[in-house]
């Protein structure tokens, strides 16, 4: 077992790769009642084209298969839904699908190991039939239609469509009514058998555990023994340039919402870059920024700006989201602030204050067993150890941040997505 200790927060990470290839990470928390586990494959919505080992032909899936598969994992051959079983044990269970991974999780104060029996059982024993697949199409179809009516989802998706021309990140994770109609139980089993293999999965456990004991409990419940070769994933070649500059749509809502996106590229040192971008965004547009105060006092910006930087091994982007009666004016002022920062640099006092704030916010995440476990799983699939962020903060200087600012907040890589009210 490998042990990594971070002296800054006095935390230890225990990592063991089991015989079948599953990576298990444990972050012990003495005297904490809540226990949390999260596990899943490095398989998400963008993984819809690949070559299965031993085959020469390319397998191409309809959009939405990873999400569909996640929905079907809880249904058992006995007719019992594992979510119901877990709920009856008093644990809070859930699952989600992203662009690059899928995760199954639960939190518990009692009955952790009773719940672990059910959890490990449904993750390792999928049950798909023609009938239950057809039934699920109606359920997911309703979900797709529901999200089409959510302005917040549409403003995000349109920003992705502006940035990306080929990569499936531009598509709804759930797919479309048309694409899910093509999904069969054979497709689901193919995906499960090739991507839900232990060597393509990771598990993170956080709570009051002895690492060796809890890993042994996991080992006892493992039924999938083989360590299979993974499919070769095929992603479309995506240009560095944006796809289009702007999308504006009208929907039923009281005040317009907007998103400004900047298409970025994946590089070697993404941890340091990620930290720098978070500091930059908070310095220029956070609650303590001059621009935020100005827009709020003039009642142009409604609420705060949501500032996000997301990346995986295949994509990276910035999103700035907000609500305003005059979105074009807010977007103009944001661009003026960026131009000023590129020309004159960042205010040193503001930079240092926000650097401390971002570091503090990161430390606070470790207070939660849920946030800690999720963080380590998400970062693992990016090829990152979450502790790396804590070590890298001191290396992010104002000069480095200004260099990143000029590279990433590039006007040629900027897109805007706006949702107006129907009457506007």
Instruction: List the CATH number of the domain containing 186.
Output: 3.30.830.10
pLDDT of residue 422: 80
Q: What percent of the chain has pLDDT over 70?
A: 100
Q: What DSSP state is assigned to residue 199?
A: G
Does 143 lie in the same domain as 75?
yes
Could you tell me whether strands 201-207 and 102-108 are parallel, antiparallel, or unpaired per DSSP bridges?
A: unpaired
Average pLDDT along the chain: 96
Total count of domains within the chain: 2
Q: What pLDDT digit, counting tens, does each position of 136-177 carry?
A: 999 999 999 999 999 999 999 999 999 999 999 999 999 999
pLDDT of residue 154: 96
Q: Are 385 and 11 in contact (CB under 8 A)?
A: no
Q: What pLDDT digit, counting tens, does each position of 74-114 carry?
A: 999 988 899 999 999 999 999 999 999 999 999 999 999 99
Give the span between the Cα atoms of 26 and 13, in whole angstroms.
6
Rounded to 10°, the helix 211-220/112-124 angle is 40
Among 269, 284, 216, 214, smallest CA distance to 388 is for: 269
Does 158 lie in the same domain as 98?
yes
- What tokens appear for 129 in the block? 């039939």
Single residue among 210, 233, 256 that ends a domain in this structure: 233
Does 213 lie in the same domain as 75?
yes
Give the strands of the sheet with 92-97, arranged side by side. Answer: 2-6, 11-17, 23-28, 201-207, 35-41, 102-108, 92-97
Does 311 lie in the same domain as 171?
no
Q: What pLDDT digit, counting tens, does each position of 296-339 carry?
A: 999 999 999 999 999 999 999 999 999 999 999 999 999 999 99
Q: What DSSP state is assigned to residue 188?
A: H
Residue 424 pLDDT grade (very low, low, confident, very high; cuts 50, 70, 90): low
Domain, as residue range, for 225 = 2-233
Average of per-residue pLDDT across 400-408: 97
Q: What angle do CA 27, 31, 32 make, to 5 degrees?
A: 65
Q: Is 424 an active-site residue?
A: no
Q: What pLDDT digit, counting tens, does each position of 275-301 carry?
A: 999 999 999 999 999 999 999 999 999
Q: Is 29 left (phi over 0), alpha (psi -120 to 50) or beta?
A: beta
Does 69 lie in the same domain as 40?
yes
194 sits in which H/E element: helix 185-195
Q: Are 259 and 159 in contact (CB under 8 A)?
A: yes
Does 50 lie in the same domain as 8?
yes
- 202, with CB counted inside 10 A (0-12, 13-18, 19+), is buried
Average of per-residue pLDDT across 345-353: 97
Does 199 lie in the same domain as 54?
yes
Query: Of residues 16, 70, 337, 402, which has the active-site annotation?
Result: 70
Single residue among 233, 254, 269 that ends a domain in this structure: 233
Does 205 lie in the same domain as 259?
no
Residue 227 pLDDT grade (very low, low, confident, very high; cuts 50, 70, 90): confident
Q: What pLDDT digit, counting tens, does each position of 8-38 carry?
A: 999 999 999 999 999 999 999 999 999 999 9
Does 57 lie in the same domain as 84?
yes
pLDDT of residue 79: 87
| pLDDT at residue 423 tops 80 | no
């Amino acid at each position: 077992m490998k042990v990594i200790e971070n002296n800054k927060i006095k935390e230890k990470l225990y990592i063991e790769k089991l015989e079948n290839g599953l990576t298990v990470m444990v972050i012990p928390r003495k005297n904490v009642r809540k226990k949390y586990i999260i596990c899943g494959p490095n398989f998400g919505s963008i993984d819809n084209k690949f070559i299965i080992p031993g085959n020469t032909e390319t397998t191409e899936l309809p959009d939405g298969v990873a999400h569909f598969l996640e929905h079907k994992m809880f249904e058992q051959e006995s007719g019992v839904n594992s979510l119901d079983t877990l709920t009856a044990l008093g644990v809070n269970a859930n699952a989600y699908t992203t662009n690059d991974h899928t995760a199954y999780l639960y939190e518990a104060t009692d009955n952790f190991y009773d719940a672990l029996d059910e959890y490990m059982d449904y993750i390792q024993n999928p049950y798909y039939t023609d009938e239950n697949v057809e039934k699920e199409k109606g359920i997911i179809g309703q979900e797709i239609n529901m999200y089409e009516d959510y302005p917040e989802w549409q403003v995000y998706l349109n920003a992705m469509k502006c940035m990306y021309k080929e990569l499936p990140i531009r598509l709804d994770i759930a797919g479309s009514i048309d694409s899910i109609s093509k999904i069969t139980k054979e497709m689901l089993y193919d995906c499960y058998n090739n991507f839900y293999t232990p060597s393509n999965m990771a598990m993170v456990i956080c709570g009051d555990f002895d690492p060796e004991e809890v890993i042994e409990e996991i080992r006892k419940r493992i039924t999938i023994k083989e360590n299979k070769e993974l499919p070769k994933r095929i992603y479309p070649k995506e240009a560095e340039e944006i796809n289009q500059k702007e999308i504006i749509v009208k929907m039923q809502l009281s005040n317009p919402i907007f998103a400004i996106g900047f298409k970025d590229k994946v590089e070697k040192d993404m941890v340091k870059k990620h930290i720098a971008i978070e500091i930059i965004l908070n310095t220029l547009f956070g609650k303590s920024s001059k621009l935020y105060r100005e827009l709020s006092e003039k009642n142009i910006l409604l609420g705060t700006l949501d500032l996000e930087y997301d990346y995986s091994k295949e994509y990276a982007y910035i999103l700035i989201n907000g609500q305003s009666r005059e979105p074009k004016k807010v977007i103009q002022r944001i661009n003026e602030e960026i131009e000023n920062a590129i020309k004159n640099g960042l205010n040193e006092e503001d930079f240092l204050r926000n650097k401390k704030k971002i570091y503090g916010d990161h430390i606070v995440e470790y207070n939660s067993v849920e946030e800690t476990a999720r963080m380590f799983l998400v970062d693992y699939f990016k090829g990152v150890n979450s502790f790396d962020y804590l070590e890298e903060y001191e290396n992010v200087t104002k000069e480095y941040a200004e260099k990143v600012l000029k590279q990433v907040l590039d006007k040629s890589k900027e897109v805007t997505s706006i949702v107006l009210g129907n009457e506007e």
